[in-house]
Chain A
Amino acid sequence: MKTLFHINIRTPLIALLLIIATGFVARAQDSRIQLASLDHLAAKANQTVDVAIDERLIRIAAKVFSDEKTDEKEIKQLLTGLKGIYVKSFEFETEGQYAAADLESIRSQLRGPGWSRMVGVNSKKEGNLEVYLLLNGETIGGLAVLHSDDKELTVVNIVGPVDLQKLAKLEGQLGIPDLEIEPAKPKTKNDEK
């Protein structure tokens, strides 16, 4: 009876432990960066941008992207599988408003397992720009961009599989101040109908 009891208890216990362990591993591989350590800079900043869009909001937004417009269709495809997009950007009046420790708090997270620094640019004019990718084998599991210059600090974090080529293409397509205004397109025969 005792043995039976042990067997009965042991199996679900092992299963439970496995589930918990899997959860921890999945959490460890999560490409979400904690940006809360930069929040104190908002008080010093001249302009602050804080975007936090989780998976639920991405799904909601994806519903209003048109399948018929090519550019919106591409963005919708890009959003497929994404679990979050987080941006924090601060623009300061004067130099030296943020400390090296602020940058280090972000960089330390990007030294975690799976993250690779793909690009690091140090320019007097453009400042420091670093691009990190979370690689899950052959696929990209997340992206982080860290840009800092004398008067600006920007962190972009995209959680989930990102198509870098498609993302890079978007700059031209999305450079519109009011995003509800459609760009002028040449009329096609289908439009006239």
Chain B
Amino acid sequence: MNDDYLWDKSGPPDPEIKQLEEILGTLRYQPKPFEAPAPRRRSYFPLLAIAATLLIALLAGGIWLRVRTRDEVPPQQAAVPGKSPISAPPVEEKTAPTPKPQKRLAPREQNVAVYRKRRNTPPALTQHDREEALAVKQQLMFALRLASEKLNLAHRKTQSMSPANQIKNQHRVG
């Protein structure tokens, strides 16, 4: 077998090599004239999907907040008898013979104040939960008291010791 054919195609080719060349030759690069691909239409679907998702999330959040606010704060009427504060012109309010108390809040402010107060208040516990919580509280207080006692005892003991002993007893482990 002549290996020169494999390197520079000189000399007689080996029949097997020739056969392989014929088989693989079909897969050889075929020069073609350049064809510019047709311009693809840009798909806006992903952008639209993201925008729609954000919109739905915003809407859902808004609705949830609104429902929650409505549930927690019942609609309240202004306590001012007679004219409503909205329809009353500001000039009349100033010239009214009976001045309003200055600290009275507007209905909207009252609602906000009530809402904030309720929001800060923790949800009420059920009877069972409260009993459990009180039982745990007692255990907790006992454990904390015990820990506190022991810490104070250690503190007292270390204070009553001489400085040399204190240093001796404070060393790092691990």
Contacts known (A64-B130, A168-B152, A171-B149); A85 close to B173, Cβ less than 8 A: no
Chain B residues near A29: list those with CB within 8 A.
Answer: none
| Extra 13 A-B pairs, beta carbons < 8 Å, given A64-B130, A131-B150, A170-B144 | A49-B146, A61-B140, A63-B122, A63-B129, A65-B137, A85-B143, A119-B169, A129-B153, A145-B150, A145-B154, A154-B150, A167-B147, A179-B137
B145 touches A180 (CB 8 A): no
Output the nearest chain A residue to B141 by Cβ-Cβ distance: A179
Q: Determine whether the beta carbon of A53 is less than 8 Å from that of B139.
A: yes
CB–CB B150/A129 < 8 A: yes
Query: Do B145 and A174 have beta carbons less than 8 Å apart?
Result: yes
B: residues with CB less than 8 A from A are 122, 125, 129-130, 132-134, 136-155, 157-158, 161, 169-174
Q: Which of A75, A112, A121, A147 contacts B169 (CB 8 A)?
A: A121
**A81 contacts partner chain B, Cβ-Cβ < 8 Å:** no
**A118 pairs with B147, CB closer than 8 A:** no
Asked if A131 contacts B134 (CB within 8 A), the reply is no
Are the C-beta atoms of B140 and A121 separated by less than 8 Å?
no
Contact A167/B151 with A63-B122, A114-B174, A118-B170 known, Cβ cut-off 8 Å = yes
Contact between A117 and B136, CB atoms less than 8 A apart: no
| B144:A167 contact, CB within 8 angstroms | yes
Number of A-B residue pairs, CB cutoff 8 Å, is 131
The interface of chain A, by Cβ under 8 A from chain B, is: 49, 51, 53, 57-58, 60-61, 63-65, 75, 78-79, 85-87, 89, 110-121, 123, 126, 129, 131-132, 143, 145, 147, 154, 156, 158, 164, 167-171, 174-175, 179-180
Residues of B near A179 (CB, < 8 A) are 137-138, 141-142
Contacts of A169 in B (CB 8 A): 148
Report which of A51, A61, A119 forms a contact with B154, defined as CB distance below 8 A: A119
A170 touches B148 (CB 8 A): yes
B143 to chain A, nearest CB (A): 5
Q: What's the least CB distance linking A60 to chain B, in Å?
A: 5
CA distance A147 to B152 in the complex (A): 12
Q: Are B169 and A175 in contact (CB under 8 A)?
A: no
Decide: B146 and A119 in contact? CB cutoff 8 A.
Answer: no
Residue from B139, B151, B174 within 8 A of A51 (CB atoms): B139
The answer for the CA separation of A171 and B141 in the assembled complex, in Å, is 10
Q: Is the CB of A156 within 8 A of B141?
A: no
- B164 → chain A, closest Cβ, in Å? 14
A115, B38: Cα distance in complex, Å: 70
